[in-house]
Amino acid sequence: MGSALKVGIIGVGTISEQYLDSLHRLPGLRLIAVADIDAARAQRVADEQGVQALSVDELLGDDEIDAVINLTLPQTHVEIGMRALAAGKHVFAEKPLGLTPDEARPMLDLATSKGLRVGSAPDTVLGTGVQTARHLLDSGLIGEPVAAQVHWSAPGHEAWHPAPLFYYQSGGGPLLDMAPYYLTALITLFGPIERVTGSSTRSGRERTVATGPLAGTPIPVDVDTHVSALVQHTSGVTATLTVSFEVRATRSPLFEVYGTQGTIAVPDPNWFSDAVEVSTVDDLAFRAVSVSAGYEEAGRGYGLADMARAIETDRPHRASGELAFHVLEAMDAIVRSSAEKRVVELTSTVARPEPVPRGAAPDTW
């Protein structure tokens, strides 16, 4: 391993805590500075981490920083990403990559023209959960894959998040906030998506913030809060996807893959390392299986460490901007399909990311 990639974080809200928890375990990354629209919050995090607190302009202009982790609100993902790339820095952003494909495409084009990398969450699919499921699928354990069913639901993020209003604005909702986990996992398992058919709705119930200093604040809802889609992969596999902020309880399967010889219960790709279960024609009872692939004890930021190693070894990185763009186009197509009541074909494609071998470390493999 060569020298560490020097990193600055822009946006130190709730999700940054998970990135900061991982960075100290990744010798290929070195945190240099943090910035936030709330200068006091940036200073507090900087003091905790023993790094500099800078303004956004200062961080982007710091020649010591090689890469920016962009944890701002979805509405500014592309703006900050473009500015970081223009300053000669690699970018790793939280999902979604942008609000629309038309908004996000110039960012990837700029990165290509400058010889820089763009990576994007979710990198949860690089953990042992989804990667073990992929290894079992590729090994032929359940025969030929035929279909998948994915269901994620909750009453709404206002029940736990102290500042949840952005989840109900453009760039939020269960589709752009949660579907990236599941669509990225589906592409990891089955390859690119060819076409989608979508349907969405929202209830009229009033929502208010439940916790923190904004408790009791009404939440305007500008996006659909229950979305379903039929997703058809170029490999021939068909998946059904539902993501919702309207469901208070469910017994629906979270993530199941159906093959000609059995079923794989994939752990929730919102997390990295829960157990995989399988049922086969020889043993219909579901049983947990041993880890066989993936970055062990992974956390948010491992996708950037994988990208840093890929830069060093001149190979494609797994949690790539092109993968995130394909996911974004799929979500945009689901919205258009629902509005226009038709099947929508995707124009982009992406290579199925390389698997992560068991025991690999993102800094060394």
Question: Looking at residue 24, which CATH number applies to its domain?
Answer: 3.40.50.720
**DSSP 3-state helix, strand, coil percentages of the chain (rounded to 5)?**
35, 25, 45
Look at residue 252 and tell me if it is in a domain: yes
The domain of 12 spans: 5-120
Please list the residues that pair with 151 across neighbouring strands.
242
Whether residue 136 sits in one domain with residue 112: no
**Which pLDDT value is given to residue 7?**
98
- How many independent structural domains does the chain possess? 2
Look at residue 273 and tell me if it is in a domain: yes
Look at residue 204 and tell me if it is in a domain: yes
Strand order across the 283-288 sheet: 283-288, 277-280, 262-265, 255-259, 145-153, 238-244, 226-233, 193-201, 344-345
**Which pLDDT value is given to residue 1?**
55
**Which pLDDT value is given to residue 186?**
98
Whether residue 159 sits in one domain with residue 45: no
Whether residue 183 sits in one domain with residue 104: no
Whether residue 114 sits in one domain with residue 131: no
Whether residue 114 sits in one domain with residue 161: no
Going by DSSP bridges, is the β-strand pair 52-53/67-70 parallel, antiparallel, or unpaired?
A: unpaired
Look at residue 313 and tell me if it is in a domain: no
CA distance 256 to 240: 10
Radius of gyration, CA atoms only, the chain: 20
Look at residue 209 and tell me if it is in a domain: yes
Residue 206: what are its φ and ψ, rounded to 5°?
-80, 140
**Which pLDDT value is given to residue 251?**
84
Last residue of a domain, one of 87, 120, 153: 120
Look at residue 96 and tell me if it is in a domain: yes
Q: What averages of pLDDT result for each successive group of 10 residues across the chain (365 residues)?
A: 89 96 95 97 98 98 98 96 98 97 98 98 98 98 98 95 92 95 98 98 96 96 97 98 95 92 97 96 94 96 97 97 98 98 98 92 76
